[in-house]
Every structure is written in C-alpha cells, then in structure tokens.
Amino acid sequence: MTDTLVISVDAMGGDHGPSVVIPAVAQAIASSPANVRFLIHGNEAAIAPELARCKGVLARAEVRHAEKVVGMDEKPAQALRRAKGTSMWNAVESVRDGEAVAALSAGNTGALMAVSKLILRMSADLERPALVASIPHGGGVTTFLDVGANVDCDAERLVEFAVMGEAYHRAAHGAPRPTVGLLNVGSEDMKGHEEVREAHRILREGGLDLDYRGFVEGDDLTRGAVDVVVTDGFTGNVALKAMEGAARFITNELRSALTSNLGASLGAMLARPSLRRFRDRLNPPPAAPLLGLNGIVLKCHGGASARDFAQALKVAAELAQSGFAAEIERNMRRLPAAMSVTAAASADGAAE
C-alpha cells in the first residue's frame, strides 16, 4: 500500500483563479496515481461553479473555504500584513501543519515568498527563498538560480544554491547526477570577484557530493553546458529578464517580418505548424520551486493555462515523492567541513 500524498493548492492565484485551477486539478487527478490527493484553498462561492463543471474532482480533493485573496499587484510587505486567512496563506500553512507535502500557487511571487518564509521559516541561512528558473536549451532545460531577491550573496550562499539546485534538478528531471556550474565572466580560475572564486574553491575541494564542472558563462545557459547554473540573485534576475526581453524582441521582429508582405505571409501560413512547435519549444516549464524553506512550495506562473497548472501539480507531486529535501539536508551538513577545508587551504597558500 502506498502512502497518501496531499498537494495543497491556492485556487485563487494567477490571472484566472479557479477557472484555471479546478480544471487543472481535474486533469492532474486523471493522470496521477490514486494516492495523490488535493487540498484546495479558496472562496467556495467562486470554486463551486467550476466544481460543477469538472465532475469527479471531489472524489480526490477537499475544498477549504478562505475568505480573503492576495492581490496580484500588492507589494509583498503590504500583502503580508493582511495575508493571514487568504487562500495563499492557508495553502502554505497546510504544509507546515503536515496536512500536505507541498503547496502550489500561481499568485503574487513576492507575497508567496514572504508568506512562505514567515510560515515555514528558512532551513538554509538565506535572506529569502531562492527562486529557480528553467531555461530551455537544445537538449532539455537548465536549472538556473537564484533569480529571486537574494541580492548580496557570499560564497557560502552560492554553495547552498548549488546544493539545492542540484537536488531539485535531479528530482524534477529524473537526472541521476546533474552537473553543476558557477556563472562567471570567463572560465579561468582567476576570473570574477572574490565571492565567486571562493565558492569555486569550496565546490571543487570541499568534498560535497556534487558533480561540479567549474565556471560557465552567460551563453552556456541556453547551450546546456551543465544542468544547474548557480549565481547570486542580482546577476540571476538581470540575466533572466535580459533573456526574456531578447526572446520577446526576436519573436516580435519575426512576427512583423512574416506579415510584412504577401510572400512572407503565405510562407508563414505554410510553416505554421512548425512555427507553433518552435514557439512551444521556447516556453519554459510552468513551475518553479522556492528553495531553502522547511517545506516544498512551488510557484506557477501567473498566466498559466489549465494544462500548465496541471503540469505544475505533477512536478509538485514528483518533488514531494523524491528524496529532494533529505538530499539537500545531507549535503548541507557537509558544508561547515567544506568551508573549513578551503579556509585552511587558503591560509596555507598565503603562508607560502
């Protein structure tokens, strides 16, 4: 007999709320094993008509009424003050209380980070949860972190990101031994600032259980040079948004080129199925975990379709079933020793 696995869901988040979340739960029920169940948090009056449309959801899901909702445009601090009793708050609280093994929300990212941190507390020594982006490349996806708000990162933070990102990549993509790289401006040992070089030493010599491959550069993100690329939250956020902007610019230019005259328009029409597959290839996976918390919380992007959200629910269940949290903890316990080994090595080097 398999244990029941409960995923807690914020039904009110995202651009579409229950009209996307409830059909997504129905899809997830149809495609997941019978031991996976759902705890749906949200306004009962808003959820009821969707439940009426999606028969059978209540066989494997329970609805918990929440009076309030976190707005998509609220500032995190503002949202936090009135977050208690919202569907988002209750979804995360279910994880803390052991009622669910993971929570998923398509709501306000900043608010979800603040609420999760307050309710679950950080397990790593981070300011805020690390946010993961999944960058598509020719042969799969690159796990890229931190793209969130940990702006000032010392070497130890960067190493924590490596440990967490590697465990996440293995759990989410079934890769037995993901490779890890550290983002820098060149591949030689001497490149980059002090924090990056120190993290490089720890990852290389600290005896962590990681397949660390050294420095990588910005264009390696879409080349798939390594599975996991680690950087501070400032560089990660800028690089991610720069890539998103470049992709948007290029696809806009392509669209206007392909509608600029009759020949191009006819050509685009003939190529339409291929162009649609091309566009799908550029879309990253819909779910991103918030790492470093005492519990699993995932963020689904705000504009997610029911299919996207169902896919995100699947990732949440896989993550909860994997040894994800235990693996992170095991490697994190090696960190103090790794730090002291390289500190001793640096001192030796200085004494020569």
Exposure on the CB side of residue 252, measured as CA atoms within 13 A: 6
Q: Which residue, 175 or 243, has its beta carbon nearer to a second copy?
A: 243
Assigned token pair, 15: 């651009």
Q: Which residue, 123 or 179, has its beta carbon nearer to a second copy?
A: 179
Q: Which residue, 96 or 234, has its beta carbon nearer to a second copy?
A: 234
Q: Which residue, 175 or 275, has its beta carbon nearer to a second copy?
A: 275
Q: Mind spelling out the 3-state secondary structure of 42-85?
A: ECHHHHHHHHHHCCCHHHCEEEEECCECCCCCCCHHHHHHCCCC
At residue 207, φ and ψ (nearest 5 deg) are 70, 20
Minimum distance of a second copy from residue 256's CB (angstroms)? 8
Give start and end residues of each alpha helix (H) in the chain: 18-31, 44-53, 76-81, 87-96, 109-120, 155-173, 194-205, 233-257, 262-270, 272-282, 306-321, 324-333, 335-351
Q: What is the C-alpha to C-alpha distance for residues 158 and 145, in angstroms, rounded to an integer?
A: 9
Minimum distance of a second copy from residue 156's CB (angstroms)? 17
Residue in the block written with tokens 């693996």: 327
Determine the length of the chain.
352
Of residues 284, 28, 49, 326, the one with CA closest to residue 167: 326
Q: Which residues bind a second copy (CB under 8 A)?
A: 136-138, 149, 151-152, 183, 185, 191-193, 217-223, 231, 233-235, 237-254, 257-258, 260-261, 263-264, 266-275, 277-278, 281-282
Q: Which residue, 31 or 283, has its beta carbon nearer to a second copy?
A: 283
Minimum distance of a second copy from residue 147's CB (angstroms)? 9
Minimum distance of a second copy from residue 9's CB (angstroms)? 28
Q: What is the C-alpha to C-alpha distance for residues 187 and 309, in angstroms, rounded to an integer?
A: 38
Minimum distance of a second copy from residue 317's CB (angstroms)? 30
Q: Which residue, 22 or 135, has its beta carbon nearer to a second copy?
A: 135
Minimum distance of a second copy from residue 110's CB (angstroms)? 9
Cis peptide before 146 (omega within 30 of 0): yes
